[in-house]
Amino acid sequence: MAETTMQLLTGEIIVRRPHTPASSPLRAWSAADQLVLEHLGDADLGRVLIVNDEFGAITCGLVRAEPIVWTDSALSRAAIARNLAANDLAPLSDDRVVHGHHQPQGQFDTVVVRIPKTTALLDYQLRVIAALSTAETKVVGTGMVRHIRSSTVDAFEQLVGPTTTSRATRKARLIHTSPTGDAQGPVVLETTRFTAAGLNVVQHPGTFSAGHLDIGSALLLEVLRELPIPEGWPTIVDLGCGNGVLAAAVAALWHDAQFVLLDVSDLAVAAATETWDANNLGDRMTAQVSDGFKDMSDGSIDMVITNPPFHQGHALDSAMTDRLLAAAARVLQPGGTAYVVAQRHENLHTRMLQWFTDVEVVSKHPSHVVLQATTSA
């Protein structure tokens, strides 16, 4: 069972992962969160920006400073709100929460950056931070040692200013950067465009499978393209849509189908929308930043296609995958079908039988499989 209480010199903070079984060993906070909060202590931090707070540990620890929180994840925003409430702390007003596809405004005295999983997202965020900083701003990055490479430190140095690192403590480390103060905004969101599966694909920083079609998605597309064209106007959900290539590829073949694209990432949903538009697929798609199917009624969907997430941030989180697939079974119509990419070692086939009547492997690769799962008719 994971700890839910983070001890600090100034007290303790309750931090819980959302939708996670009590038996899970995964904590909602890391030594990196603890280290940066201990470093900042109770000093006067001025105007504060927190970037990539995963579950709210840093926000709860610095709530006294009335920080601005910048995160690309709807799941993180919900977790931050819940953990503020769990600690009897005031909620963040809407103007203090900045979504990933927007940029914070104004200058900051202190910026805390939790190191994200992808280099492209970090580089983009650092360019924005540099433009929001003066020569007096303190920029502090925090992460576990295994996630801080020499290239991570180089990015802070090259994009923001002179940089040093702390000694490792409890396998975590801080990155201290002094901005040059001469960077200018606004910063343009970098967009990568490439061709895959005969489609024009748009990619934003941090979106899964940058610049190419990953093995699992390619395998799933082979399966989907062999399916007979459905009759009527079926509704198909692309869960964890990323850059939207799966939905776009199916839509190019199934001209009467309606599509709903869901992803927890603001930048992913923005990229998926641009991919759809770049292929002139018409007005039969809605894209939503959403943590799964929470706003969908039972039995309202004909088909789910997904290359689902198996990680939350840096951590492998099978409970998250299971929660999303259980919800997929709920929203599918009786006899509805889900097509799911899985890594072969995940044993997802067996787990899915908890929620689906029939699950079979319909395509194999040395590292991945595609599962076809059907609900009870």
Q: What is the pLDDT, as a whole number, of residue 315?
A: 58
pLDDT, tens digit, 9 for 90 and up, residues 302-318 = 999 999 875 465 555 67
> What is the full DSSP assignment across 36-104?
HHHHHTT----SEEEE--SSSHHHHHTGGG--EEEESBHHHHHHHHHHHHHTT-PPPPGGGEEETTS--
Rounded Cα distance, 168 and 178, in Å: 20
pLDDT, tens digit, 9 for 90 and up, residues 256-292 = 999 999 999 999 999 999 999 999 999 999 999 998 9
Rounded Cα distance, 307 and 220, in Å: 8
Domains, the chain: 5-177 (3.40.50.150), 192-374 (3.40.50.150)
The SS3 call for residue 294 is coil
Quick check: 217 and 209 in contact, CB under 8 A? Answer: yes
Is the whole model's pTM more than 0.85, yes or no? yes
- 68-93 mean pLDDT: 96
pLDDT, tens digit, 9 for 90 and up, residues 7-36 = 887 789 999 988 777 777 888 899 999 999
- 348-365 mean pLDDT: 93
- Nearest 5°: phi and psi at 39? -65, -45
Rounded Cα distance, 259 and 306, in Å: 13
Extract the tokens encoding 113: 């950056």
Residue 319 has pLDDT above 60, yes or no: yes
pLDDT, tens digit, 9 for 90 and up, residues 215-233 = 999 999 999 999 998 888 8
Residue 162: band (very low, low, confident or very high) from pLDDT cuts 50, 70, 90:
very high
Average pLDDT of the residues of the chain: 93
Quick check: 347 and 360 in contact, CB under 8 A? Answer: no
Q: What is the pLDDT, as a whole number, of residue 2?
A: 64
Quick check: 324 and 239 in contact, CB under 8 A? Answer: yes
3-state helix, strand, coil in the chain (%, to 5): 30, 30, 40
